[in-house]
């Protein structure tokens, strides 16, 4: 497992991008749970963010691709609207303990 950050470095309702070697990923905290995904839209395999650590729509309730406007469920990564409807973001196994947020890419 690889340490992403301390638990308090990903606030409730926030997202944050990370680069581990050549792997671009992001994490989102929602309802106390942390979800991690590869930072690649399934539509054209480009990064989702338009600014650093900006992966959520204006309401903070969905992941948004800044390039195509596709919207994804935070809990599953499933695209619910946009050019890749029905496809999903690629999830990364993660866990959290008192020392940090960990991923297994």
Q: Is the dihedral of CA 36, 80, 48, 10 positive or negative?
A: negative
Neighbours of 75 (CB within 10 A): 11
Q: In this predicted model, what pLDDT tens digit does every residue of 19-49 receive, in sequence order?
A: 998 999 999 999 999 999 999 999 888 899 8
| Fold (CATH) for 2-104 | Rieske Iron-sulfur Protein (2.102.10)
- Report phi then psi at 3, rounded to 5: -75, 125
State the pTM of this model: 0.94
> Could you give the CA distance from residue 74 to residue 64 in angstroms, rounded to a whole number?
10
Residue ranges of the domains in the chain?
2-104
DSSP state of 82: S
Considering the chain, what is the average pLDDT of its residues? 95
Q: Are 17 and 49 in contact (CB under 8 A)?
A: yes
Q: In this predicted model, what pLDDT tens digit does every residue of 47-67 receive, in sequence order?
A: 998 788 999 999 999 999 998
């Amino acid at each position: 497992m690889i340490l992403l950050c301390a638990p308090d470095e990903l606030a409730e309702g926030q997202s944050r991008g990370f680069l581990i070697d050549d792997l671009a990923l992001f994490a989102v905290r929602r309802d106390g749970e942390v979800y991690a995904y590869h930072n690649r839209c399934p539509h054209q395999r480009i990064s989702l963010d338009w600014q650093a650590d900006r992966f959520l729509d204006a309401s903070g309730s969905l992941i948004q691709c800044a390039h195509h406007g596709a919207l994804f469920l935070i809990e599953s990564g499933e695209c619910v609207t946009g050019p890749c409807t029905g496809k999903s973001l690629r999830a990364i196994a993660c866990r959290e303990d008192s020392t940090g947020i960990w991923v297994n890419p």
